[in-house]
Structure 1
Amino acid sequence: MSVVFEKSPLWQRVMPMFRGFDGPLAFAVFMLVCAGLLTMYSSGYDHGTRFVDHGRNMLLAGTILFVVAQIPPQRLMALAVPMYTLGVALLIAVAIFGITKKGARRWLNLGIIIQPSEILKIAMPLMLAWWFQRREGQLRPLDFLVGGLLLAVPVALIVKQPDLGTAILVMTTGLSVLFFAGLSWKLIVPPVLLGLVGIGLLVWNEPALCADGVRWVVLHDYQQQRICTLLDPSRDPLGKGFHIIQGMIAIGSGGVTGKGFMQGTQTHLEFIPERTTDFIFAAFSEEFGLIGNLLLIAGFLFLVLRGLVIAMDAPTMFSRLLAGSVTLIFFTYAFVNMGMVSGILPVVGVPLPFISYGGTAMVTLGLGLGILMSIAKARRLVQS
């Protein structure tokens, strides 16, 4: 007698993999992805294969999200030390025999060209969350000092490349873990106040500090030029200040309602440099105006708030710290990009999540979202 085993339909085998996914988070990502595809088509349809490649990168990020979401937080914790160690080792290798392009040594040839600093965007919060999980219930000031040293090593190596944008992102994720772990306000407020005073003095003394022939010993020449250009873009309107000036013109010309889809003159007459990458927010603003900007900002705020809710409800300290710091990656990306395009922050080469073209950044976003989904799934399994 033969026994016939009926194989269940594919959808019935796949659906359990989506069980526990956070619906509001998925909805926020979907809306931002739609905005990204719409904007990329308008700004990049005549820019080679940018639109098609952007869609491919999003599919890759979605696949990474789905795969990482299946990994329980406990297994993610086991990856912390290996990922951090590998990332730091590769950064040291870059410093010794990395590839130099346009005055920056950021890449490594391992058969394929990689940028090891990107690994630290995820490895850094993983490592610090692992460290504070081990010290849970017995945290001392020394533990925060160790955490600060773990953060300082890769940040210093990335700054040396130099790559200020990535260094800011890695430092932000690390500092957010220290903050969420319970770092005292007494240690947070003084540096913040000192920074605000420094910014005020910089703005006040801009004519003298940015005069021809004056050199700042603590920064590279190009970093000094970026700050001086931010303070007064008209100093070099056809050179260093061109990006900021054209970005502000595009944003302002969009008005309240925008010029309409594919109707942006600054964009399509190619006045906006890097219109599909770092300055795509200017192209978006020109075509969709203030209303479009408010909706886009609302989408990012919803994504960030939902990530923080997932962090608050996470079942372990490791999950809470990791979810909170990963969420702030999205906030930092969006805030820095919109700030530099709007002329309130220096141009540091940070993409706008889901909107800007870029494969490496999209992979990082997919990893981050996968981690959030994994933690959300773990929380719901505990509750059930």
Structure 2
Amino acid sequence: MAESAMTRRGERERYDIKLLQVDWGFALVLALIAGIGALVLYSVGGMSWEPWAYNHVLRFGLCFLFMIVLALVDLRWWMLLAYPAYGVSLLLLVAVELVGDVRMGAQRWLEIGSFSMQPSEFMKLSIVMALARWYHEAGTKDAVLSWKLLIPFAMIMAPVLLVAHQPDLGTAMLILLTGITVMIVAGLDWRIIGTAALGGAVAIPFFVLFVMHDYQRKRVLTFLNPEADPSGDGYHILQSKIAIGSGGLLGKGLGLGSQSQLSFLPEKHTDFILAAVGEELGFLGAFTVFALYALAVFMALRIASLSHSHFGRLAAAGVTATFALYVLINGAMVMGLAPVVGVPQPLLSYGGSVMTTVMIGFGLVMGVKVHRYQELPRTQSFLSHFE
């Protein structure tokens, strides 16, 4: 009955019908990832719900409910808010430059009374929405090869440069790679992709030598040879490798990991939680986590492919790309395959800002699934979206 109701426009607007169209399997996968995160946080917190596991579960529960509510929101509202959200996020990044709070040598936070926020986290979603709307309203030729491609390129580079200047190279890289992914999915000409890739490869050595801050350059050199300074800059990577390697096939067991329990492993509840998973749950535990991540990415991309609107396809694909990049960058960092850039593992690591933005993004993905039959007009007029 629900499926036949989805074919009738009036019936599709009923909230009970919309709730039936929510991808509850996808929601279950996200809950399983967050559940494993809570289990490991309970362990590395000294087999206690405090200080991390309880807050992790509470945050996920609230974000999960918010995600379901957002899934019921008409895609026209998402599209209508795309440019304003991008504009506000960009202004907040400028505000960080002017009056941002400095912590651990980086100016990334805005303090509003007792409330603290990182605008760069919200830009990760805003850039996806803004690019999805631009490509939805642009012509096919404009998306493939046209001078108008300078517009989405500028939309990407403005926040990338602001975030990189904070400095926050990890987040800047995420925004850049997500934006490029959306452009490629939208149909970017392969000649541009090839030329950009070649230019980027040539520019990397100059970027490392002349653009990066000293500590960022040191991280790259440490990644290439962490054993050169085992008690200094190479400490994070070496301890992470030791933790993962010592876990073996089945792991040492919850609460029994020496690296995490004795605090040899740095940032065990945030950036390096995956190393704690490897140590205490072993190869099978880490493999299960990555399998769930892969399943979540596959299911989200499938949702993107079902959308009848170009905006829905690109928005869902962009959110999924951000999520996948989180997983890949953090996984490579923890295993010593990439420099340490301070990117957490989504839903697994402890932290409110990343979880909130990831779940809001998945609310959009869920909304694309619920409203997959919706056709959005290709027009610049705001009001025409609701005719």
Q: Residues of 2 paired with 1:84 and 1:278: CA distance?
A: 27
Query: Do 2:268 and 2:276's aligned partners in 1 also have CA atoms closer than 8 Å?
Result: yes
RMSD: 2.2
Matched residue SS, 2:107:
strand
Distance 2:201 2:282 in 1: 31
Give the structure-2-normalised TM-score.
Answer: 0.87
Moved over 4 A (4+): 13-17, 193-203
Deviations 1:194-241 (A, max 9, x none): 5557779999xxxxxxxxxxxx32110110111011011112111111
Q: Which segment is superposed worse, 298-307 or 15-24? A: 15-24
2:319 equivalent in structure 1: 326
1:237 to 230, 233, 247: 230
Does the CA contact (< 8 Å) of 1:135 and 1:143 recur in 2?
A: no
Q: What is the match of residue 253 of structure 2?
A: 260
Question: Are 2:28 and 1:23 aligned?
Answer: no
2:117 to 107, 114, 123: 114
What fraction of aligned residue pairs are identical, expressed as a percent?
38
Q: How far off its partner does 1:174 sit?
A: 1.1
User: What SS class does the counterpart of residue 108 from structure 1 fall into?
Assistant: strand
Aligned to 1:123: 126
Q: Does 1:339 align with 2:332?
A: yes
1:171 aligns with 2:171: no
TM superposition score normalised by structure 1: 0.88
Q: Distance in 2 between matches of 1:138 and 1:192?
A: 21
Query: After the TM superposition, which residues 187-206 of structure 1 pair with which residues of structure 2 at under 5 Å, given as runs?
Result: 187-193=192-198, 195=200
Question: Residues of 2 paired with 1:46 and 1:35: CA distance?
Answer: 15
Note if contact 1:64-1:363 (Cα within 8 Å) is conserved in structure 2.
Answer: no
- Mapping for residues 141-180 of structure 1, pairs under 5 Å: 141-180=146-185
What 5-or-longer segments of structure 1 have no aligned partner? 1-12, 204-215
Partner Cα separation in structure 2 for residue 199 and residue 174 of structure 1: 19
Which stretch has the larger CA shift, 140-149 or 218-227? 140-149
* Paired residues, number: 358
Tell me the residue number matched to 2:57.
55
Distance 1:231 1:196 in 2: 17
Q: Is the 8 A contact 2:123 2:159 kept in 1?
A: yes
**Paired position in structure 2 for 1:135:** 138
SS of the aligned residue for 1:71 comes to coil
Q: Which amino acid aligns with 1:291?
A: L
Q: Which moved more, 1:43-52 or 1:267-276?
A: 43-52
CA distance in 2, matches of 1:127, 1:376: 19
Question: Could you say which residue in structure 2 is the equivalent of 1:91?
Answer: 93
Taking the aligned partners of 1:143 and 1:337, their CA distance within structure 2 comes to 34
Amino acid at match of 1:131: W
User: Which deviations, in whole Å up to 9, do the C-alpha atoms of 1:100-123 show, x marking residues without a partner?
Assistant: 222211112233222111110110
SS at match of 2:110: strand
| Matching residue within 182, 190, 212 for 1:185 | 190
Q: 2:218 aligns with which of 225, 247, 256?
A: 225
Which ranges of structure 2 fall in alignment gaps of 5 or more residues? 1-13, 376-387
SS where residue 371 of structure 2 aligns?
A: helix
Asked if the contact 2:86/2:123 (under 8 Å) is kept, the reply is: yes
Q: Which amino acid aligns with 2:232?
A: G
User: 2: distance between equivalents of 1:80 and 1:309?
Assistant: 22
